[in-house]
Amino acid sequence: MGPMSPEKTIGFGIVGCGAIGRVHAAAIRSLPGARLVAVTGGPEAPARAQEWQCEFEADVQSLAGRADIDVVDICTPSGTRAEIVEIVAAAGKHVIVEKPIDVTLARADRVIEACRRAGVLLGCIFQARFNRTYRLVRDAVQRGRLGRPVMASAAVKWYRSQDYYAGAGEWRGTKQIGGGGALINQAIHSVDLLRWVMGEVERVSAFTATLARQIEVEDTAVVILRFGNGALGTIEATTAAYPGMPRRLELHGPKGSIVVVGDEITEWTMEEMRQEDYEIRASLEKRALSREGVADPTLTDISLHRAQLEDFVEAVRQGRPPAVDGMEGRKALELVVAAYRSAEAGGHPVVLPLTN
pLDDT in tens, 33-92: 999 999 999 899 999 999 999 999 999 999 999 999 999 999 999 999 999 999 999 999
Calpha distance 183→38 (Å, rounded): 32
Residue 161 has pLDDT above 80, yes or no: yes
The ranges assigned to domains in the chain are 10-127+302-324, 129-298+334-350
Of the candidate ranges 55-59, 118-122, 255-259, 301-305, the one whose mean pLDDT is the lowest: 301-305
Residue 307, pLDDT score: 98
Kindly report the CA angle at 80 between 348 and 48, in degrees rounded to 5? 135
pTM over 0.85: yes
**Please, which pLDDT band fits residue 299 given cuts at 50, 70 and 90?**
low
Residue 291, pLDDT score: 66
Report yes or no: 235 and 241 within 8 Å, Cβ to Cβ: no
Residue 348 has pLDDT above 70, yes or no: yes
Three-state DSSP state, 306 = helix
Tens digits of residue pLDDT in 227-243: 999 999 999 999 999 99
Phi and psi, residue 11, nearest 5°: -90, 135
CATH of domain 129-298+334-350: 3.30.360.10
Residue 11 has pLDDT above 70, yes or no: yes
pLDDT above 90 coverage of the chain, percent? 88
CATH of domain 10-127+302-324: 3.40.50.720
Q: Among residues 315, 4, 297, which one has the least CA distance to residue 160?
A: 297
Q: Say if residue 243 is preceded by a cis peptide, omega within 30 of 0.
A: yes
Domains 10-127+302-324 and 129-298+334-350 share a fold: no
Residue 105 has pLDDT above 90, yes or no: yes
